[in-house]
Amino acid sequence: MSKSIYFATSNLNKYREAENIIGKNRLKLLKKKLIEIKDYSLENIAIYSLKVLTESFNEAVFVEDSGLFISALSDFPGFATGYVHKTLGNKNILVLLEDEKDRSAYFKSVIAFKPPSKGPKLKLFVGTTNGVIVDKEKGTNGFDYDPIFQPSGSEKTFGEMTIEEKNKFSHRGKALQRFNSWLEEEYW
């Protein structure tokens, strides 16, 4: 068992979550800011990023694109989730939702994987997690929206969870589990 795969990302928090599921020995980091198109479909964004990346990188590699969709804000921030965190941040998201009764939101994660050129075609793995935006930040673990998102079935926000706990509930954890099962059955 000497095969390994690259995870191309600029986000080390995402990488640590992936390591926890796929295993440190099998994963390598390709630290890179990917080219991302603006599109309502996270699938299209992930496929495009991977396509551009694999024009010049010919190893087994995956990318992961994710987004937060808040019901009361008509699914904002969606494909602009990263940008909105950098600009508005959690505090202003909470202000936008002040006095709002419907706190429901979901996270979605799409993994796009491409084996080296002679292998099978591109594969997609998706995970979604429903939950609520809490009324104040809770916890200091994780990154970005983690302190304000509480998944259904938990009393904790992602910000109050360890990586192992978050992976059991999270959109990325679910997509990674599906990817990992496929790797075990079809790839390694």
- The region of 22-30, 79-87, 96-104, 120-128 touching ligand ITT under the rule CB under 6 A is 79-87
Q: How many residues bind ligand ITT (CB under 6 A)?
A: 23
- The region of 9-17, 21-29, 94-102, 113-121 touching ligand ITT under the rule CB under 6 A is 9-17
Residue 150 found at the interface with ligand ITT (CB under 6 A): no
| Exposed e or buried b per residue across 137-148, where buried means at least 16 C-beta atoms within 10 angstroms of its C-beta | ebbebbebbbbb
* CA 67/CA 45 separation, integer angstroms: 11
* CA 15/CA 21 separation, integer angstroms: 10
Interacting residues with ligand ITT between 105 and 124 (CB under 6 A): 107
How near is the Cβ of 68 to ligand ITT at its closest, in Å? 6
Sorted by sequence, the CB contacts under 8 Å of residue 32 that are 6+ apart come out as 8, 9, 10, 53
Residue 134 found at the interface with ligand ITT (CB under 6 A): no
Residue 160 found at the interface with ligand ITT (CB under 6 A): no
Per DSSP, what are the bridge partners of residue 114?
61
**Residues 169, 176: contact at Cβ < 8 Å?**
no
Residue 139 found at the interface with ligand ITT (CB under 6 A): no
* CA 100/CA 77 separation, integer angstroms: 16
Which pair of tokens denotes residue 44? Answer: 């299209």
- The region of 54-62, 77-85, 91-99, 119-127 touching ligand ITT under the rule CB under 6 A is 77-85
Residue 146 found at the interface with ligand ITT (CB under 6 A): yes
Which pair of tokens denotes residue 185? Answer: 């059955």
Residue 75 among the catalytic residues: no
Chain position carrying tokens 């992930």: 46
Active site residues: 65
Binding site for ligand ITT (CB under 6 A): 9-11, 14, 33-34, 36, 64-67, 81-82, 85, 107, 142-146, 158, 170, 172
